[in-house]
Structure 1
């Protein structure tokens, strides 16, 4: 972009908006869109969802109030949101359906097979902000957004860039924002779907005070399809575009810290971290592409690993194998809890019984309860 005092601010911002998209693609994002901050329709849906108690024990979903649905309440002066997506389907990963149908294996959601996406996305978003800041320093126009900010600085004739970056790390309605920014539409499973790339991708945001040019929102193409609702193992998709997190396997294995409800344990199968069923059977994912991001490649054989091997890890082994992974955040005890349920749902064998018994006495009360449940299933011959 060339420096010019004769171009109006809106034209400067249009050019900057186009450049931001080019820079984002160069940094490894697969799509970049820009939207305003009006989320009044999404706010009504979100508040209704909270009132129904569908957020379960995720208290943070409710405690921030309107900050989640009104970006300028979370980050003052926010005028625009830059929304990005990055594909994560790893290359050369074992076939998901084969792992799900093998009761001796541990199924881990495809997004968690590589490096923690929070770190990857946040780093790239920060680099994008640095590119924006560098470009703004070359402009010499009356600032439409004066003030001091985290990314800003400069004289009165240079736009001050204020921003914050987010990757599933704050009260942000990222799917609603991404839909408004044209990245895709909210599917009946509540995940974002892109017509050309399916849904196997991460989302991230930059809240900014710059009056950038906005994109048209995406249109919905789910039609009459209800595959995601039909295949959900726990029937957590209670209505189109509505999920009861308390029944969702991703919530149960990741967000829920205590005891998993007895009635849901057999339905979890061998899904020990997250659940991909609604995406695996979504017809739009026939267009999904393998990620080019090396950080999302499979680590430590997590795409094809046995339940017993996972259960036999020491805490040190867990920390070593999961270092830099999103799985590390759930901790060792919760990991063993999830594996115990997977073992309880597996076909009975002397090896499984021995593995469960080996941890029974040393386990915490919460973990012991899940191990005992699994042992009771095997010793009662109910598998």
Structure 2
């Protein structure tokens, strides 16, 4: 009965819009706890204090919900229509990570997970109905190791999940359930000798293959890091103002990527002009990015990133936008504006 239910669940998952589904058990990643503890002990998590919290749950899914018997891992593609890397040459515009171009993926994936979960409950025995919990990147769940244990893909040298069928442009969702479903075999790495993702990283955030130092990662710096960014690092951020896709975009496995199924992932923001973004006050920022994951970092951190991009642009036409913020109420923003002006002046391309 469980094998038949798994087959029907697979079909249903594809009908709901997921690109792939695999199953594992809550105890399938025994190595995760030690790796997480070492990562945190070395301080590579930076200001992400939540990674150090509830480490027992994060490192051991079986402890998160002891009643769970199976973990259903699902992939949802958000593949862009075009390679985002050429946008890095348009230095008067801000580059926003592909995943944040449309609606907030947390809402889109969770809605689909809940529909699939309700279907699963309806298919379970009436005398002993299944229980479920759904997770999308907001709970102490290590989705990537679980997805590899389920055979959905493998963690590449850039530590993101890769699939021979999907490339690496996809989100992960998890359904924990009390049902005992047949697990799938784990996946192994197929990166071979390729180091494209390591070589392209502008800040050298990968101390070794399969290892990430978040403190040097542009995604971390633009989204999670509070306060001023180290000047040596901000100079390497280019015009990336929210996230970074370099290591994802360069991966050769993307030749197998599937198109995004949900129109919610259609680009809304594109690569906006930096001068326009620098002029956003709090109300305008909230209005512009309503329904987007960008909204959660707030206006001040976002405008800080924009000013770093202005400083890196070498474009004297952007100096007035920076100058207008040198006395901003937020000192981090004001300092970023002064830094941007000094950078432009250093190239002899901005008036004093």
User: What range describes the TM-score normalised by the shorter chain of this pair?
Assistant: over 0.9
- Give the counterpart of 1:305 among 248, 253, 272: 272
Within the alignment, does 1:22 sit opposite 2:11 as a pair?
A: yes
1:6 — aligned with what?
Answer: none
With over 3 angstroms needed to count, the CA separation of the structure-2 counterparts of 1:90 and 1:226, relative to structure 1, is closer
In terms of mean alpha carbon deviation, does 280-289 or 325-334 score higher?
280-289
- Give the counterpart of 1:240 among 209, 227, 234: 209
Structure 1, unmatched stretches of 5+, are: 1-11, 140-153
Within the alignment, does 1:62 sit opposite 2:77 as a pair?
A: no
1:290 — aligned with what?
Answer: 259
Count of residue correspondences: 348
Equivalence map 1:217-232=2 (5 Å): 217-232=186-201
Within the alignment, does 1:210 sit opposite 2:199 as a pair?
A: no
C-alpha deviation, 1:348, in angstroms: 2.9
Task: Answer with 1 or 2: which has the greater Rg.
Answer: 1
> What is the alpha-carbon root mean square deviation over aligned residues?
1.4
2:343 — aligned with what?
Answer: 377
Within the alignment, does 1:40 sit opposite 2:30 as a pair?
A: yes
C-alpha deviation, 1:42, in angstroms: 2.3
Within the alignment, does 1:77 sit opposite 2:67 as a pair?
A: yes
In terms of mean alpha carbon deviation, does 365-374 or 245-254 score higher?
365-374
1:368 — aligned with what?
Answer: 334
1:142 — aligned with what?
Answer: none
- Aligned partners of 1:345, 1:55: CA distance in 2, in Å? 26
- Give the counterpart of 1:129 among 112, 117, 134: 117
State the secondary structure of the residue aligned to 2:314: coil
Q: Are the equivalent residues in 2 in contact too, given 1:71–1:207 (CA < 8 A)?
A: no
Within the alignment, does 1:319 sit opposite 2:298 as a pair?
A: no
Displaced runs of 4+ in structure 1, greater than 3 A? none
Within the alignment, does 1:270 sit opposite 2:236 as a pair?
A: no
- Aligned partners of 1:378, 1:165: CA distance in 2, in Å? 48
State the secondary structure of the residue aligned to 2:128: coil
Q: Are the equivalent residues in 1 in contact too, given 2:33–2:55 (CA < 8 A)?
A: no
- Aligned partners of 1:163, 1:343: CA distance in 2, in Å? 47
**Per-residue CA distance 1:232-254 (angstroms, 9 max, x = gap):** 01000111110000000000000
2:321 — aligned with what?
Answer: 355
State the secondary structure of the residue aligned to 1:66: helix
Q: Are the equivalent residues in 1 in contact too, given 2:2–2:180 (CA < 8 A)?
A: yes
2:139 — aligned with what?
Answer: 170
**Normalising by structure 1, what TM-score?**
0.88
1:143 — aligned with what?
Answer: none
- Aligned partners of 1:25, 1:164: CA distance in 2, in Å? 20
1:114 — aligned with what?
Answer: 102
**Normalising by structure 2, what TM-score?**
0.96
- Aligned partners of 2:143, 2:322: CA distance in 1, in Å? 40
Structure 2, unmatched stretches of 5+, are: none
**Per-residue CA distance 1:241-300 (angstroms, 9 max, x = gap):** 10000000000000112211111011000000000110111111122122121010011x
- Aligned partners of 1:166, 1:120: CA distance in 2, in Å? 12
- Aligned partners of 1:362, 1:61: CA distance in 2, in Å? 32
C-alpha deviation, 1:23, in angstroms: 1.0
Q: Are the equivalent residues in 1 in contact too, given 2:57–2:140 (CA < 8 A)?
A: yes
**Per-residue CA distance 1:64-94 (angstroms, 9 max, x = gap):** 1220121121123112111001000244x5x
C-alpha deviation, 1:382, in angstroms: 6.1
2:152 — aligned with what?
Answer: 183
